[in-house]
Amino acid sequence: MSYDLGSIVRPLLTADEEVVLAQQIEQGAMARERADTGRPEPGDAEVIEVAERARHRFIEANMRLVISIAGRSKLPPYSDRNDAIQDGMVGLDRAVEKFDWRKGYKFSTYATWWIRQAIQRGMENTATTIRIPAHRASELNTTLASMGGDPSQLPPRLASIAALSNIDSIDRPLPDANQTLGDMVADDTSNPEDEAQANVDRGAIEALLSELDTSTARAIISRFGLDGGEPATYATIADQIGVSPEAARRRVVRALERLRPEAIRLVGGDEFVVGVNDGEFAESTAGVTSNQGACDSVAA
């Protein structure tokens, strides 16, 4: 909601009008209290209705004051002026409720304190990602002001509160941009090109492993962590397929030698190379070793 000072056309109240409206509001409060306690009097409903209209008149006539105070308030970075006006309206409503016409001062003088307090409380509640209790925030601000705004001079207890107040939110809007801080954070999820390449790699691995018997395929998958786990030692592989560690190593080496020509044919060129280097599996395509689904379907 946006507030335009020019659209607030209600005339200001005179001192006499403020007294009359305040008396009507006071009478309405008394009538409402009687109704709530089960002791209504004839005509209380009409009195309450008149009091409600008086309250609205008070508020509408003093919206200019709220907008003026909010406009002069020093807001935290990235705070919305309209939010300050909304908070000020809460303070204005409270001032209408508490105004004592018998003391003889103008309503605007009395309401200014309530409006400023409401705006300040609103800023303290929303200016930081982690809400700091109002009395602690007030203590922090007062101490900072006495130290020239240098947070390094704060005592440890207040320093920890100041640290909490500096935590940022990814939902914070950026100045002069229709974006939030979160919009500027890099997205680590795979893009369509990466997904397409992963599908190609998955198909290539599945085709290669389908050429092997079940135990040999299981040995290759375990040795190079193609199921998403950590690469296994030959001793571990030996336990899985029921052979000695040396037999497991020979089986892996022979399988790699057998798969090398087929791997080059499937992918082509030097983009995907299967080699034997002391029994190790070398590839230049990083995504190949992450195709758990394809490996599980072959080894099942």
Read off the pLDDT of residues 191-201 as tens digits, 9 standing for 90 and up: 677 676 667 67
How would DSSP label each residue in the chain?
----GGG--PPPPPHHHHHHHHHHHHHHHHHHHHHHTT---TTHHHHHHHHHHHHHHHHHHTHHHHHHHHHHS-PPTT--HHHHHHHHHHHHHHHHHH--GGG---HHHHHHHHHHHHHHHHHHHHSSSSPPPHHHHHHHHHHHHHTTT-GGGS-HHHHHHHHHHT---TTPBPTTSS-BGGGGS---SPPHHHHHHHHHHHHHHHHHHTTS-HHHHHHHHHHTTTTSSPPPPHHHHHHHHTS-HHHHHHHHHHHHHHHHHHHHHHH-TTSS----BTTB---S-GGGGG-HHHHHHHH-
Cβ neighbourhood burial of 32 (10 Å; 0-12, 13-18, 19+): middle
Q: Residue 74 has what pLDDT? A: 73
pLDDT band at 89 (very low <50, low <70, confident <90, very high): very high
* 288 pLDDT more than 60: no
Q: Residue 281 has what pLDDT? A: 44
pLDDT band at 91 (very low <50, low <70, confident <90, very high): very high
Q: Residue 197 has what pLDDT? A: 67
Where do the structural domains in the chain lie, given as residue ranges?
A: 5-130+137-145, 192-299
* 294 pLDDT more than 60: no
The topology (CATH level 3) of 5-130+137-145 is Four Helix Bundle (Hemerythrin (Met), subunit A) (1.20.120)
Mean pLDDT of 226-245: 88
Q: Residue 90 has what pLDDT? A: 92
Mean pLDDT of 125-138: 67
Please state which of the ranges 99-103, 162-166, 219-223, 287-291 shows the lowest mean pLDDT.
287-291
Mean pLDDT of 72-99: 82
* 115 pLDDT more than 90: yes
Q: Residue 177 has what pLDDT? A: 60
CA distances from 102 to 27, 98, 107, 115 (A): 14, 12, 11, 21
pLDDT band at 290 (very low <50, low <70, confident <90, very high): very low
- At 13-52, the pLDDT tens digits run 888 998 999 999 999 989 888 888 888 888 888 999 999 9
* 129 pLDDT more than 70: no
Length of the chain: 300
Q: Residue 130 has what pLDDT? A: 64
- At 138-188, the pLDDT tens digits run 777 788 777 777 777 788 877 777 776 665 566 666 666 677 766 766 666
Q: Residue 155 has what pLDDT? A: 81
Mean pLDDT of 268-280: 43
Mean pLDDT of 215-242: 87
Q: Residue 141 has what pLDDT? A: 73
* 78 pLDDT more than 60: no
